[in-house]
Chains A and B, each alone.
Chain A
Amino acid sequence: MVENRPILNIVSHIVLILGIAIVALPIWITFVAATHDAVRMTQAPIPLLPGSHFWENFQQTLWGSGLSGTEIAPVWRMLLNSLAMAMMISLGKIAISLISAFAIVYFKFPFRMGFFWLIFITLMLPVEVRILPTFEVVADLGMLNSYWGLSVPLIASATATFMFRQVFLTIPDEMLESARIDGAGPMRFFWDIVIPLSRTNIAALFVILFIYGWNQYLWPLLITTDTDMTTIVMSIKQMLEAAEQSPQWNIIMMTALLAMIPPVFVVVAMQKLFVQGLTETDK
């Protein structure tokens, strides 16, 4: 604080609270919609204060048939699918980026820079610009409607490799020298020195990648046709379509709430790691 201006302080707090209100309004309306019964949610104007049907909706959404009159998987099954996809994508990205960054930083071998640039190129090829041919590759490999198909094509990561490269470059050379004097081979050095030293970076990256994986939409939409493989994020779109015939906004909004709770929880609970991960990967 540079100077004491009580009025400006009050204005600051008011503006920030207004900002939070704008940011939180869509979620509040979603929450309120999830606490009323289906009949109330067909009468305009929709309520702005919570009702008393939260647990009813919660149980019907999670364990019951969910939205009646549609052929979609039960919500608990979709949550499991999303969890599996998010975990496979985030852990897979971290694993393969760790070992490739280790190879590029700690080994001198032919084509080292060639491999580095090849990984770099993936940054310029988001899935949106190569959807059709990538879909064909996955179909030819028989990976449609499987967890492998959902995760493996997404786990190459230039940003994660770059981040680990930066981290490894800050590890003092003396570490390796003394490890070698003590007779440690490359993999021993990797497990006992490199991994423990990059622990917080791995955790920070995990937070970002978990959100990235959980929120995937276009890719699962293309490669899953089997309702058992639907992810929770995808199901919202199907429910919105069904809503045009039979609006059950309480169930749809409860599903939306369930779909956003895990990644939002990760961000709020691990806020420090989240901020670190976001600024380190720069994207």
Chain B
Amino acid sequence: MLKRVHFPSSLLPYLLVAPQIAITLVFFIWPASQAVYQSFLIEDAFGLSTEFVWFENFELLFEDDIYLATFGRTIFFSAAVAILSMSMALILAGFADRVVRGATAYRTLLIWPYAVAPVLAGALWVFMFNPTLGIFPYILDFVGVDWNHYLNGNQAMALVVFASAWKQIAYNFLFYLAAMQSIPRSVIEAAAIDGAGPIRRFKDFIFPLVSPTTFFLLVINAVYAFFETFGIIHAVTQGGPANSTTILVYKVFNDGFVGLDLGGSAAQSVILMVLVIAMTVVQFRFVERRVQY
């Protein structure tokens, strides 16, 4: 943590950490504590008086069917995004790991969606699925599917899942490929000599050996789906139709900035904070374990 050889204490180290600490205090710690404080308050309809109500905002939330439905929906959404994009990435990485010629070219062509902003990813997908113009509704029409994600909640959910998973494939692919390439060749060769074919080797050697990466990516993808997909949902569906794509982060934004329900929005923020802390702890415990692995 600290160097064995180091400089003595003086004013200098304080000046060096000062900018980071000042920004942390002003823009992180203070607002977060305000969110916690506001979550204990209820404002009247005109914003004239506030009342300190302890946990009433939280009780209201957990009695609110809409909020509980949002919770369940967020979990479904995260699981769908993680499974779809991780399995695509696993398959592609498995084949890319085999290929000798052109492996770098394939990697280059697969990783760049990482750089596309979520809201742009949303715009591209909403254009492809535009009910009157888009290419996919046109094709789906031939097989008798009437696509309109502005009216059909399930189709809207499918669309945001596609867009979110698409953007995340690049990240998952890179980590899977790196994990597979770090498996000692001797293990795979020994398996091959013992007569294990490519599918058997993947199932019994490669997949178990990359399981730490799978676990790590599950956490990362959950965090991504919970917090970073706001732009996609804002561009594609704005939470609709009839809340069918409203996830937790979107609801905090909507209740706070559009609905102006400060106490309720703050209470939701606090719940999200607890979720992030839990995910970060899981992630860090895992990172420690991976070092030993």
Contact = CB atoms under 8 A, between A and B. Distances in A.
A129 B114 contact: no
Question: Which has the most chain B C-beta neighbours within 10 Å: A45, A155, A161, A214?
Answer: A45
A130 B230 contact: no
Q: Decide if the interface of chain B is mainly helix, strand, loop or mixed.
A: helix
Interface in A109-157: 109-110, 112, 115, 118-119, 121-126, 128-134, 136-138, 152-153, 155-157
A102 B16 contact: yes
Interface of B: 1-10, 12-14, 16-17, 19-21, 23-32, 34-35, 38, 88, 91-92, 95-96, 98-100, 102, 106-121, 123-128, 132-135, 138, 166, 169-171, 174-175, 178, 185, 188-189, 192, 198, 201, 220, 223, 227, 230-231, 234-235, 249, 252-253, 256-257, 262, 265-266, 269, 272-273, 276-277, 280, 287
A106 interface: yes
Interface of A: 1-3, 5, 8-9, 11-13, 15-16, 19-20, 22-27, 29-30, 33, 41-42, 44-46, 48, 95-97, 99-100, 102-110, 112, 115, 118-119, 121-126, 128-134, 136-138, 152-153, 155-157, 161, 168-169, 173, 176-177, 180, 186-187, 211, 214-215, 217-218, 221-222, 233-234, 236-237, 240, 247, 249, 252-253, 256, 259-260, 263-264, 266-268, 271, 274-275, 278-279, 282-283
Contact of A100 (B20, B102, B115, B257): B20
Contact of B31 (A110, A136, A253): A136
A156 to B, nearest CB: 4
B8 A99 contact: no
The 8 closest A-B pairs by CB, nearest first: A133-B31, A215-B117, A103-B16, A107-B13, A133-B34, A263-B115, A26-B124, A109-B9
Which of B14, B23, B32, B169 has its CB near the most chain A CB atoms (within 10 A)? B23
A100 to B, nearest CB: 4
A105 B2 contact: yes
Contact of A103 (B13, B99, B127): B13
B6 A107 contact: yes
A124 B277 contact: yes
Given A41-B133, A124-B280, A252-B127, 18 more contacts: A2-B189, A11-B95, A19-B91, A23-B166, A24-B109, A29-B128, A44-B138, A45-B138, A95-B19, A128-B272, A129-B252, A152-B27, A156-B28, A217-B117, A222-B257, A233-B119, A236-B120, A259-B117
B106 A16 contact: yes
With a 10 A CB-CB cut-off, give which of A133, A168, A266, A282 has the most chain B CB atoms: A133
B115 A256 contact: no
B188 A2 contact: yes
Contact of B23 (A12, A123, A152, A283): A152
Given A107-B9, A173-B4, A26 B20 contact: no
Contact of B17 (A103, A136, A180, A268): A103
B117 A131 contact: no
Contacts of A11: 95
Given A107-B9, A253-B127, A132 B257 contact: yes
